[in-house]
Homo-oligomer: A and B are copies of this chain.
Amino acid sequence: MKKFNVAVVGATGAVGQELLKILAERNFPVKSLKPLATQRSAGKQIPFGGNTYTVEATTAQAFDGVDIALFAGGSASKEFAIEAANRGAVVVDNSSAFRMDPKVPLVVPEVNPEDVKNHQGIIANPNCSTIQMVVALKPIHDAAKIKRVVVSTYQAVSGAGKEAIDELTEQVKELAEGKEVVPKVFPYQIAFNLIPHIDVFADMDYTKEEWKMVNETKKIMHDDSIQVTATTVRVPVYRSHSESVNIETERKITAEEAKKVLASAPGIIVLDDPREKKYPMPLFTSDRDEVFVGRIREDNSIENGLNMWVVADQLRKGAATNAVQIAELLIKYNCL
């Protein structure tokens, strides 16, 4: 089997670490690995596939000879993604920088795999909250055509990076010791609290996170007629985003049918047996690649309504796993 020179940009962060873990887990055909990060992290040792690699500072030259560059996100994407593509690497980018660029495919392998074929050097990985939602929406859309989605999110702190994870742990400890909590990563205390504010505020007082769910969904699903409104909320959970998703469809779909099409769709586990107290929860979906769907109910407040509860590990399926799956598609479709 052909092997590839792979660069991971942001290798020391929360998503970068997941990327390395998932490349190894899925036996991605790595010829050489180049872990890149900021100057501050250069020189760090990183284990991968039984060997140890030294983190290098990200520079334009670092991408020479690289076949696939997986960008974990952050400012490195704007600075280096185009440069990496110009030097011949195919970039899979987890930042929001290129997602809405019409020249850049925005891909969720369970939804629009063929879009990778149209890449011009960069493929964008969608926002974490969007990925898990569209995986669950796709089979419903295929079966009954989605007109409108009302989504409220319950997003884990790890979506804001490693320091956010530490911040939750520290705040809980400080509160137990009766100490004052001084928020650093989040605008307010997140321990035992909720913050209805993710990313910055933008048009119409929606946050960028909320707009991502609106706009990226249309692009990934290739359907501008799908109407989406979102409210995104940070919750004191370490890992896995949860979403309460209300759907209006063109044609009626019963809860029974919805369960059936979801259960047979790729990348989804239906966990829905109320009598047995079976429903998805963030605690039990972390470190998993699937999107978990439960609480599937007809919504009789409109003619063709459906409610569901969607939970997935946003560092894996919402970021790293999706990126590696895209890289796998690039190999499968011979697009490197």
Give the contacts of A160-177 with B (CB-CB under 8 A): 168, 172-173, 176
Report A290-305 CB contacts with B as 1/0, cut-off 8 Å.
0000111111111001
**With A206-B297, A282-B193: A275-B201 Cβ-Cβ less than 8 Å:** yes
Asked whether, in the complex, the Cβ of A301 is within 8 Å of the Cβ of B244, the reply is: no
* Distance in Å: Cβ of A153 to nearest Cβ of chain B: 9
Asked whether, in the complex, the Cβ of A244 is within 8 Å of the Cβ of B233, the reply is: yes
Residue of B nearest to A204 (CB): B297
Residue of B nearest to A207 (CB): B274
Asked whether, in the complex, the Cβ of A233 is within 8 Å of the Cβ of B154, the reply is: yes
Q: Is A87 an interface residue (CB 8 A)?
A: no
Asked whether, in the complex, the Cβ of A305 is within 8 Å of the Cβ of B229, the reply is: yes
Main secondary structure of the interface of A (DSSP, over half): mixed
Asked whether, in the complex, the Cβ of A277 is within 8 Å of the Cβ of B233, the reply is: no
Q: Is A42 an interface residue (CB 8 A)?
A: no
Report the interface size for chain A: residues with CB under 8 A from the other chain: 59
Q: Which chain B residues border A281 with CB–CB below 8 Å? A: 188, 193-196
Asked whether, in the complex, the Cβ of A231 is within 8 Å of the Cβ of B205, the reply is: no
User: Once bound together, how far apart are the Cα atoms of A150 and B282, in whole Å?
Assistant: 23
Q: Is A228 an interface residue (CB 8 A)?
A: yes
**With A154-B194, A173-B176, A194-B154: A229-B246 Cβ-Cβ less than 8 Å:** yes
Q: Which chain B residues border A302 with CB–CB below 8 Å? A: 148, 227
Asked whether, in the complex, the Cβ of B205 is within 8 Å of the Cβ of A297, the reply is: yes
Asked whether, in the complex, the Cβ of B196 is within 8 Å of the Cβ of A309, the reply is: yes
Asked whether, in the complex, the Cβ of B296 is within 8 Å of the Cβ of A205, the reply is: yes
7 example contacts (A-B, Cβ-Cβ < 8 A) are as follows A152-B152, A188-B281, A193-B237, A194-B242, A205-B296, A228-B301, A246-B246
